[in-house]
Structure 1
Amino acid sequence: MKILTINCWNHSIRYHLLSSGGQTVLAMGVVERVGLGSAFLIQKAPGKKRVFLDAEFIDHHGAVALAIATMTDSRHGVIPDAGHISVVGHRVAHGGDQFRHSVKVDHHLLTAIRDLGHLAPMHCVPNIAGIEACMKLLPDVSQVAIFDTAFHLTLPECAYMYPLPYEWYEKYRVRRYGFHGPSHLYVSRRASVLLEKPVQDCNLITVHIDRGVSLCAIRNGQSVDTSMGMTPLEGAVMETRCGDIDSGIQSYMMRKMNLSVWELEQMLNQKSGILGITGSCSSRQHLLEAALDGDPRAGLALDIDAYRIRKYIGAYLAVVGPLDGIVFTAGAGVREWYAREKILNGLECLGIGLDLERNRTMPENSEYEITGSGSLVRTFVIPTNEELVYAEDAAAVHAGIYVDHHRHDYAFAQHEFVPVQQLV
Structure 2
Amino acid sequence: MAATSSEPQLITLRFPNLVRVAGETIEVHIDFNVPLARKDGIENLRFEVRGVIKTQIYRQYGQVGIVHKETVPLFSSVDSLWTPESPDTGSDVVSFPFRFKLPDDLPPSFYCWEGTIRYSLEVVGERPGKLHRNRRARKIFSVTPAASQSQLLTKESLRQGWTGPWKETKHEEKIRHGIWGEYSHVYATLSIPDLPSLPIATPIPYSFQIVTETKTVDHSDHPDDKHGHPLFPAPPTLSTDLTQVLRRKIECRVRERKTLHQEKKRENFDLQKNRRLAEKDQKALDTDTVQTESVACTEAVEAVVDEPEWIPKDHKSRGIWRRSVRFTSTITLPFAPTLSSETIDWRYILQFVVPFPGLKNDLKLEIPLDLGPGLACPPPPTGAPGSSSHTYADVLPAGPAPSMLDLPPAYWGEEGHDWDDDKKS
TM-score by length of 1: 0.23
More helix by share: 1
Q: Whose RCO is larger (CA < 8 A, sep 6+)?
A: 2
Task: Find the structure with the greater CA-based Rg.
Answer: 2
- Structure richer in strand, relative to its length: 2
